[in-house]
């Protein structure tokens, strides 16, 4: 018997709590609107993946109407089919035939036959289970790769008096081709203080191939920076290495590499085809750091060593340096519009005083607000350096 104070019996209330817990686990706390937006974004990304294998020019020559629509749908289905292994392709075709035709076996004139359509549904479920198993296995391997990659980049900034440094990265996939670092170089005999070396780099491509090249780039940079070589020799050495490992010209690396004297606050840098960092002086003047050369590892210069230009800038109290990869300014929303530097520059130029991490957080919040539910198309990495004293 129920009362006004306890309108729902105990057993239904227990089942309701279990359902709510199950729903929260399935949705990870997302609202229905967020789930629908996420689904649309993933569906668009999947369609783009399959449609790249379709010859739309040939289909476009088909007369308008249902025939063109049918040919387009059939071409997309074939593109999906060819992503499966041969055995799974055959099973999928069998399942679809059974579901569409609904054949019957047995049964006489006055008896109902045994329908085989449900077998097609079972086959589809088995195929889904196989694909999920592959995905889980791959995801586990990628998670291990991500843990290894995270150990190659600093978890916290070096403690340098007068400098506030923050950095962050958000891979498009589990692993990324972006790289950032900040560390104090060994003290050369001719120097009184250790130089602070900072770098943000972007290997062409995404996911595992780019991540592997990023790891070798990190090892090469650390080895070169451990010597007393000047910045120019470090960059030239990186260029030689990336040229030797650019996979027949298919991979190159853009990078912004700089070293700072903590005492004099002199910054020497080379920009190797990277997005020009934004230096906002305390006076409000904005400077772009563009001196350097082309990306590292381009095959055009295999016969002779390329000399990269460098430049020096004096940093002052209150100056703010913002370094980023192209994934930030090329982030797109569901309309296909890019975030762009026109939205980024005001955020840096008029950034309020405060910790470097706060500046990065304001920028990435604006990017997230702009992109909405649109799927991330590239790795996003940034480094913020603020002069406090």
In a shared domain, residues 246 and 277: yes
In a shared domain, residues 219 and 138: no
Q: What is the CATH number of the domain that holds 231?
A: 3.60.40.10
Counted domains in the chain: 3
DSSP 251-270: --EEEEEEEE-TTT-EEEEE
The C-alpha atoms of residue 165 and residue 324 are separated, in whole angstroms, by 14
Q: Is residue 90 predicted with pLDDT exceeding 60?
A: yes
Does some domain include residue 109? no
Summarize pLDDT for 281-334 with one digit per residue, the tens: 999 999 999 999 999 988 765 556 678 899 999 999 999 999 999 999 999 998
- Closest of 352, 344, 350, 346 to residue 382, by C-alpha: 344
Residue 83 pLDDT level (bands cut at 50, 70, 90): confident
In a shared domain, residues 90 and 78: no
In a shared domain, residues 226 and 314: yes
In a shared domain, residues 145 and 43: no
Residue 72 pLDDT level (bands cut at 50, 70, 90): confident
**Secondary structure (3-state) at 296:** strand
The C-alpha atoms of residue 332 and residue 215 are separated, in whole angstroms, by 28
pLDDT of residue 304: 61
Does some domain include residue 11? no
Judging by DSSP bridges, how do beta strands 292-293 and 266-272 pair with one another? Answer: parallel
Q: Is residue 113 predicted with pLDDT exceeding 60?
A: no
pLDDT of residue 250: 64
Summarize pLDDT for 347-380 with one digit per residue, the tens: 999 999 889 999 999 999 999 999 988 888 889 9
Residue 8 pLDDT level (bands cut at 50, 70, 90): low
Does some domain include residue 110? no
H or E element in which residue 380 lies: strand 380-387
In a shared domain, residues 289 and 323: yes
In a shared domain, residues 367 and 289: yes
pLDDT of residue 244: 78
In a shared domain, residues 191 and 327: yes
In a shared domain, residues 209 and 306: yes
Does some domain include residue 9? no
Does some domain include residue 7? no
Does some domain include residue 290? yes
Share of the chain above pLDDT 70, in %: 90
In a shared domain, residues 172 and 123: no
- Is 214 in contact with 201 (CB distance < 8 Å)? yes
Does some domain include residue 186? yes
Chain mean pLDDT for the chain: 84
Summarize pLDDT for 243-270 with one digit per residue, the tens: 877 666 567 899 999 999 999 999 999 9
Q: Is residue 343 predicted with pLDDT exceeding 90?
A: yes
Residue 29 pLDDT level (bands cut at 50, 70, 90): confident
Summarize pLDDT for 124-152 with one digit per residue, the tens: 999 989 888 888 887 787 777 778 777 88
In a shared domain, residues 63 and 176: no
Does some domain include residue 15? no
The C-alpha atoms of residue 134 and residue 46 are separated, in whole angstroms, by 17
Between 61 and 389, name the one with better pLDDT.
Answer: 61
Q: Is residue 386 predicted with pLDDT exceeding 90?
A: yes
Judging by DSSP bridges, how do beta strands 104-105 and 196-203 pair with one another? Answer: unpaired
Residue 6 pLDDT level (bands cut at 50, 70, 90): low
Q: Which domain holds residue 211?
A: 154-387
In a shared domain, residues 61 and 167: no
- Closest of 301, 296, 155 to residue 214, by C-alpha: 296
pLDDT of residue 78: 87
The C-alpha atoms of residue 351 and residue 317 are separated, in whole angstroms, by 15
């Amino acid at each position: 018997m129920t009362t006004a104070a306890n309108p729902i019996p105990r057993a239904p209330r227990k089942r309701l709590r279990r359902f709510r817990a199950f729903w929260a686990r399935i949705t990870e706390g997302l609202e229905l609107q967020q789930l629908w937006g996420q689904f649309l974004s993933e569906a668009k990304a999947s369609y783009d993946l399959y449609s790249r294998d379709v010859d739309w020019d040939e289909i476009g020559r088909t007369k308008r109407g249902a025939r063109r629509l049918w040919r387009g749908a059939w071409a997309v289905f074939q593109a999906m089919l060819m992503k499966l292994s041969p055995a799974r392709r055959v099973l999928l075709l069998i399942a679809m035939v059974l579901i569409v035709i609904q054949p019957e076996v047995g049964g006489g004139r006055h008896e109902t036959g045994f329908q085989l359509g449900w077998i097609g549904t079972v086959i589809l479920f088995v195929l889904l289970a196989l694909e999920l198993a592959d995905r889980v296995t791959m995801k586990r391997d990628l998670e291990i790769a991500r843990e290894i990659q995270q150990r190659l980049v600093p978890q916290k900034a070096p403690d340098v008096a007068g400098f506030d440094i923050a950095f962050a990265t958000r891979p498009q996939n589990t692993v990324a081709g972006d790289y950032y670092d900040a560390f104090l170089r060994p003290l050369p005999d001719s120097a009184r203080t250790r130089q602070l070396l900072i770098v943000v780099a972007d290997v062409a491509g995404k996911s595992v191939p780019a991540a592997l090249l990023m790891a070798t780039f990190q090892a090469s940079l650390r080895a070169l920076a451990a010597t007393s070589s000047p910045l120019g020799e470090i960059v030239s050495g990186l260029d030689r290495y990336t040229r030797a490992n650019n996979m027949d010209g298919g991979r190159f690396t853009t990078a912004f590499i700089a070293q700072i004297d903590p005492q004099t606050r002199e910054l020497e840098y080379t920009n190797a085809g990277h997005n020009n960092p934004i230096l906002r002086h305390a006076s409000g003047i904005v400077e772009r750091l563009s001196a350097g050369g082309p990306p590292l590892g381009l095959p055009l210069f295999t016969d002779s060593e390329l000399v990269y230009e460098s430049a020096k800038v004096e940093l002052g109290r209150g100056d703010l340096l913002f370094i980023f990869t192209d994934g930030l300014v090329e982030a797109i929303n569901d309309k296909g519009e890019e975030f762009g530097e026109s939205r980024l520059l005001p955020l840096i130029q008029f950034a309020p005083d405060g910790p470097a991490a706060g500046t990065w957080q304001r920028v990435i919040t604006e990017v997230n607000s702009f992109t909405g539910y649109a799927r991330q198309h590239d790795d996003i990495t940034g480094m913020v350096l603020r002069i406090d004293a």
